Amino acid sequence: MTISLNVLSEDTQQSQSPPAAPPIARQQPGRLIDSHGRTIHDLRMSVTDRCNFRCVYCMDPNFRYMPKSELLDLDEYIAVARAGFSLGITKLRLTGGEPTLYPQLDDLIGTFGRMGFDDLAMTTNGSLVDYSRARQWKQLGLDRLTFSLDSVDPQRMREMTRAQTSLDSIVRAIEAAHRAGLGPIKVNAVVIRDVNDVEVADLADFARDHDVNMRYIEFMPLDSSRKWNRSHVVSADEILSRISARHELTPIDGGDPHSTSMNFRFADGAAGSIGVIAPVSRPFCSACSRLRITADGKVRPCLFSHDEWDIRTVLRSGGDDEALAAFIADAVWTKQAGHGINSSEFIQPQRTMSAIGG
């Protein structure tokens, strides 16, 4: 099966005008809470919509980026993060696009590192990561790196990313992150039937060989061509069955109650571990503690939100820290109970993953 995945045009994305402001919520000082009683403490901030890969489930080769004037600038990203921190955000993850393309990345990491977040992480495709940069980020306050790697077959990797970056270069980037102390290192792989699902057990071997937490992610309806259906999804049960046919797994009990993944170690004591993120077959919405900010300054309470709230307008109209915090708190209040993928009334959001930020 060939999956055709094309990104919506920039014009189509921009035609979806966000509401001016979220409804006024009952705010609790120093705490972000939604109308379903969930406390939000994890912020995913996209610092650019640019990427040097064109992954088949994300961007088509002719994808057009947003004008830079529409993206937040350095001071605006910092102001949003500062407001989030004041509201109890303890975890901040930098995403993209590809965040290592952001020209002021070191300034951002250094500022965020001084803010005092419990966990400061970044997701990257690894193509621009070397030991010098990794060590610098660690010194500036970055705690962890998560890599995106959907295939350990060199040819399939090139086909999926539509890029010439080699598998060996990504392996070297992961080794550099280890040396710099940016761990525990996670590696995300989106599993798509008839695309890379034959590699499920091979990716587990990669986890053992390179001492990483390999996280398998069920294919979600965020594809640009809007042709997602369940026939493309390799479920968590099937993923675990394929791994277990080669390696016995032992569940890792406890841990973060808000974790998106089911976690396992290898029963034979080998290095590395396994995580399975199953938003389709095993939704975890009731424990969600996440909030997203897009590179163009939209607050998205849920990955699958249809409403998003324009904090860029607040920033550029002179809003102070108190106004930003109030805006974010009100936006969080609108967070939906669940993504509804399994509902007959589910409608895929207009934005694709590349335009939202992981």
In a domain, 226, yes or no: yes
Q: Which domain holds residue 271?
A: 10-356
Number of structural domains the chain divides into: 1
The pLDDT tens digits of the residues spanning 99-109 come to: 999 999 999 99
Residue 3 in domain? no
CA 134 to mean position of chain CA atoms: 19
For residue 297, the surrounding DSSP H or E stretch is none
Predicted local distance difference test score (pLDDT) of residue 9:
32
Query: For residue 232, is it within any domain?
Result: yes
Based on its alpha-carbon atoms, the radius of gyration of the chain, rounded to whole angstroms, reads 19
pLDDT per residue over 256-270, tens digit each? 777 778 999 999 999
Does some domain include residue 289? yes
Output the average pLDDT for the chain. Answer: 87
Q: What integer pLDDT is reported at residue 155 of this predicted model? A: 97
Q: Specify the CATH number for the domain of residue 110.
A: 3.20.20.70
311 lies in some domain? yes
59: which 2 tokens? 């961007």
What three-state secondary structure class fits 275?
strand
Distance CA 116, CA 249 (A): 36
Confidence of residue 303 (pLDDT cuts 50, 70, 90): confident
Mean pLDDT, range 218-232, rounded to an integer: 68
Q: Confirm whether 5 is domain-assigned.
A: no
Mean pLDDT of 186-203: 96
φ and ψ of 310, to 5 deg: -90, 90
Helix-, strand-, coil-residue percentages of the chain, each rounded to 5: 35, 15, 50
Q: For the segment 144-153, what is each residue's pLDDT rounded down to a tens digit?
A: 999 999 999 9
Give the closest residue to 340 by CA, choosing from 237, 221, 216, 228.
221
Residue 4 lies in a domain: no
Dist CA 164 CA 158 (whole Å): 6
Q: Is 209 contained in some domain?
A: yes
